[in-house]
Structure 1
Amino acid sequence: MAERQTVSTTSGEAQDHLTRLTREWQVLSDLAFADLLLLVPAIQDGQVGWTCIAQNRPHTAQTVHVHDQIGLFREEPYPAPVTPADLAPFARDQSVVLRRVIPVRFQGQIIAIILMERFARVQIHPSLLEDAYAMAVRALEDMIAEGTFPFAEGDLPSAHVTNPRVGDGVILLDSTGQVIYASPNAVSAYRRLAPSTPLIDRPFSAIDPGYHTVKQAVESRLPVRGEISQNGRMILRRIVPFLQATEITGAMVLIRDVTEMRRHQAELHVRDVTISEIHHRVKNNLQTVASLLRLQIRRTQSEEVKDALVESVRRISSIAYVHEFLSGTSGDTVQFDDIANHIVTMLGQGLVGKHQEIRLYTTGEPGLLNAQQATPLALILSELIQNGIEHAFPNGQAGEVRVSFDRYQDRLVMQVSDTGVGLSNSEPLSTHANLGLQICESLAVTELGGSLHYTPGQPGAIFTVDMPLAAIGEPSSIGGQFPSPKNHA
């Protein structure tokens, strides 16, 4: 295996600069119809060259590199040019690949290069679009070589916001704010705002209803993103100023019609609010039922009836808490970790006597569950903990009740174990005299599509619920247990 040594020429700030560059360079790749390779200086077997640390393919053209280039060593081009420069083309797949190298400068030092490669196209005269794109490419190349692109501040790309792309629509402005080019998609977007509005050779301030956004980008020398709406249409724009030293030489406005997306988001918001309100009303109704049962508890003289009603109130309270949690979240999913911790705390405080030493623990994280799973699982958890506290430790015996969760890719396993006396017989849970255990098994099978098993502990009892997970997105863990314990005394 060849020995490889990478020459470290980048500080933490310079590495951040390269990271920002790879977040922003899709626009350069699309405008240039080219693959981009980010190369840093390296030495391999005593040979000075470059190692590829990032790669980008265009959305607007065929890729030159079908296979990933990251990690590959190149002996050329070396040394880095001071300004963008063309390299010798080469042949591939009966086509000619044009090559260009762009120095990446940061704080006056060249810390990397961008190798731009694209297939040559046979044509007599470039189209208006290609001429406009080439002008924008040269402006971005010069900014990269000067160290002013990518921007360190402004409305930068993030994991939560998708910026418009070149294919969505692009408008180019000169240094005076005049429109010198508008792509067909950009023209269509603005004509939906104002049907008779021409774009080319007009001041952008006369076209755009939110021109203050463009003015802000020009004055701050930073990219700015904003939305405009008119005639029922919504347009997202990102204005990227072109800089030469500190002077504005023009600007690029990336445009995307987001009307349908915003309407869909509004519909989802209304749906979430409606679902939240339903859960809130269900919770209130359950609490009303629980209050009525508490009134009945105070009126009845039978201790047996009182005990049965108290257990019913606890069951209703567990279900109500799930709906309370769902009413405060968007959608139909809920973090069951918080529900489990609440149930453990509530039962520990409500059932463990002042002079009884029973400690309750939870370990693992069940993660996200939908409402159809969370409600029966909460009730099972409440029943099993209550069963352990009330029956596993007779005569004030001390001990522990432990709840553990193991989440896998397609299923969730919950165990409730205690260090008490265990079950007195080996009858199936469905025929056991304990109503709570019968409820648990019924819910595990019919509502969760899983199973409930009892195994003797040493000492005590172990109840295991094994249930499949519904398709609600990525699980919290794949094929493993969450080790972080959460203790509740």
Structure 2
Amino acid sequence: MKTKYTINELCKKYTSLSNNDISKIIDISKSLDFMADFENSDVFIDVLSKSRNVAIVVAEAKPKKSVYHDSVIGKKALRSNEPGVLKALEKGLPSKDIRALTQEYKFVKQKIHPIKNDNKVIAVLIVEKDISNEIKEDFKIGLNKSIETNTESQKLMNLINSNQIVNNNLDDAILIFDNEGKLKIKNNKASILYKMLDKKNDIEETHYDKVSLDNKKFDNLNKQIRYCNGKKVLKREVKVGDFYFKVKTVLTNEEDLSVVEIIKDITEIKNKEAEIISKSVAIREIHHRVKNNLQTVASLLRIQSRRCKSEEAKVTLEESVNRILAIAATHELLSKEIKDEVNIMDVINAVANNAKRYFNNISHKIDIEVNGEDFYLDTDRITSISLIINELIQNCFDHAFKNLKSGKIEISISGDEENKIISVEDNGEGFDTSKESNSSLGLSIVKSYIKDKLRGDINIISNNTGTKVQFKFPIKI
């Protein structure tokens, strides 16, 4: 079936690939028909979308007997259904014999090979074979002598074809029990799992109570299970020795088959979570110590400032103290965060409060107001923004309110998902921007950090009613 979309159109719409990358994909796509005939399989080219959570099919070729009824060009490949495709796009590693669920909810086995341009993964080539028969053979049936083989097999097929039970659990252990609690159906994963746990070599016909990982009783399941999306489901996490499992128990409507239990091994995930938490605690402790060390340096500079006879030297040292404390405030916030990101509003408020303590005095009463849309940002740029805000507030105190006893500084945050805008505006005396001093250390720091660290732009507007400094920067670099 000829699609209305072209590779070029889809890549331009969903990706950030260059024209050179797209040309290479187009060249490779010209041989897909030959590959489909040679492999007697469906062949596709997928690209990674801008959101990075899904892949987009941009080219396809079908054999005489295809798994697919309709064209899938332009459709999405989800991570939950085709994990191998997303992994190959992200890691650049080839793989084979990866089980997946197609856009038409059919089971296939995939061979996946990354397509590279200048050592960068730009797409993946996928060869798919139908494995419906393999899925059927993956289940072992314990037959009750009082039940005919055809009847039991039909029930099994009904369960296999039921998306609500099996579709997304091909790599999980699946056990199906009859109305008396005896295990009637299991897949190979279940056999492997119970051998690993030293339970039994053969668990067929074993009662639910003897294979339950968390010692739940078959007769009590109906009381413990709750309705979820119209089905009676019980979900929980279970620890057995050094292993962790996610267990889902479902009551079925099949005649003579009562309970389905799906067991997913999450030991690796749990171990990684524990490792991440351990590293996170260590990183937070480092940030805490850095904050303490910076405060110590600031205290030493204050002592030096008090002993200075030169007023100019005192001012310079106090400005340095304030800059150090602005950085220390960021590390203090990072010492309380689990992720390596900080809430921008918290940082600006911390810097503003620090500035008010150091610059407000009896003769000057300056209010600082912070408002706008909050967002999170990485450590490096957060530190840069804290220094920029500190310098701009300091400039306001030093120059905008020289001849005024009171005033107001308003810091506002706005923007969208791609760009953020931060403004620092005062209602002071203003200045002539055409005579802006290039020798000002504070303004030099501001301009340098906005350009080099944030990849942003700065705009300064000033008149006799005050000054507004606004800088805009991309949220992603």
State TM-score, norm by structure 2: 0.60
Aligned equivalents of 1:127, 1:413: Cα separation in 2: 68
- Aligned: 1:460 with 2:454: no
- 2:446 paired residue number: 440
Matches of 1:349 and 1:370, distance apart in 2: 27
Q: Which amino acid aligns with 1:414?
A: I
Kindly indicate whether residue 246 of structure 2 is the aligned counterpart of residue 236 of structure 1. yes
- Corresponding residue for residue 332 of structure 1: 340
Tell me, yes or no, if the aligned pair for 1:389 and 1:401 is still in contact at 8 Å. Answer: no
Please give the residue correspondences for 1:88-487 in structure 2 after superposition, counting only pairs within 5 Å.
131-132=155-156, 134=158, 165=169, 168-194=172-198, 196-212=200-216, 217-222=221-226, 223-230=233-240, 232-242=242-252, 250-424=258-432, 426-427=434-435, 431-432=438-439, 434-457=440-463, 459-470=465-476
Deviations 1:251-308 (A, max 9, x none): 2212111122222222322332232222112111111111222222333333322222
Compute the displacement of 1:368 (Å): 0.5
Q: Give the secondary structure class of the aligned counterpart of 1:359.
A: strand
Determine if contact 1:168/1:255 at 8 Å carries over to the other structure.
Answer: yes
Distance verdict in 2 for CA 1:214–1:395, change over 3 Å: farther
Cα distance, 1:164 vs structure 2? 7.7
Change beyond 3 A, Cα 1:311–1:217 = farther
Q: Which amino acid aligns with 2:419?
A: R
Q: Percent identity?
A: 28
1:328 CA drift (Å): 0.8
> Which range moved further: 202-211 or 372-381?
202-211
CA distance in 2, matches of 1:465, 1:326: 24
Match of 1:68 in 2: none
Give, in whole Å, the separation in 1 of the partners of 2:151 and 2:435: 83
Distance 1:129 1:457 in 2: 85
Pairwise CA distance, 1:427? 4.2
Could you tell me whether the CA contact under 8 Å between 2:458 and 2:470 is conserved in 1?
yes
SS at match of 2:258: strand
Indicate if the aligned counterparts of 2:418 and 2:475 stay in contact, CA closer than 8 A: yes
Give the distance between the partners of 2:241 and 2:294, measured in 1 at CA: 46
* Cα pair distance change 1:221/1:381, threshold 3 Å: closer
Per the alignment, residue 63 of structure 1 pairs with 104
**Distance in 2 of aligned mates of 1:278 and 1:126:** 66
How much has 1:387 moved relative to structure 2? 0.8
Give the alignment's Cα RMSD to 1 decimal: 3.5
Q: Which runs of 5+ in 2 are unaligned?
A: 1-80, 82-99, 107-148, 227-232
Distance in 2, Cα, partners of 1:399 & 1:334: 29
Q: CA deviation at 1:195?
A: 7.2
Tell me how far apart the structure 2 counterparts of residues 262 and 214 of structure 1 sit (CA, whole Å).
Answer: 28
1:178/1:136 Cα in 2 relative to 1: closer, same or farther (>3 Å)? farther
How many residue pairs get aligned? The number is 329
Q: Which residue of 2 aligns with 1:84?
A: none
CA distance in 2, matches of 1:243, 1:276: 51
> In the aligned structure 2, how far is the partner of 1:387 from the partner of 1:200?
78
The residue matched to 2:185 in structure 1 has which SS?
strand
Question: Offset at 1:326?
Answer: 0.8
**How far apart are 1:402 and its partner, in Å?**
1.5
Q: CA deviation at 1:133?
A: 5.6
Residues 416 and 463 in structure 1, CA contact (< 8 A), matched pair in contact too: yes
The answer to whether the 8 Å contact 2:208/2:217 transfers is: no
Distance in 2 separating the partners of 1:387 and 1:255: 62
The amino acid across from 1:363 in the alignment is: N
C-alpha contact 2:182 2:206 (8 A) present in aligned 1: yes
Structure 2 Cα separation of the partners of residues 447 and 455 of structure 1: 23
What displacement does 1:418 show? 1.5
Are the structure 2 counterparts of residues 167 and 356 from structure 1 closer, same or farther at C-alpha, using a change threshold of 3 Å? same
1:215 CA drift (Å)? 6.7
Give the superposition deviation at 1:221. 4.3
Three-state SS of the structure 2 residue aligned to 1:226 is strand
CA contact (8 A) 2:429 2:464 kept: no
Whichever residue aligns with residue 417 of structure 1, its letter is E
Q: Secondary structure at the match of 1:426?
A: helix
The change in CA–CA distance for 1:64 and 1:315 in structure 2 (over 3 A counts) is: closer
| Structure 1 residue 249 displacement after superposition | 7.6
**Cα deviation per residue 1:129-161 (whole Å; 9 max; x = unaligned)?**
7623636999x99xxxxxxxxxxxxxxxxxxxx
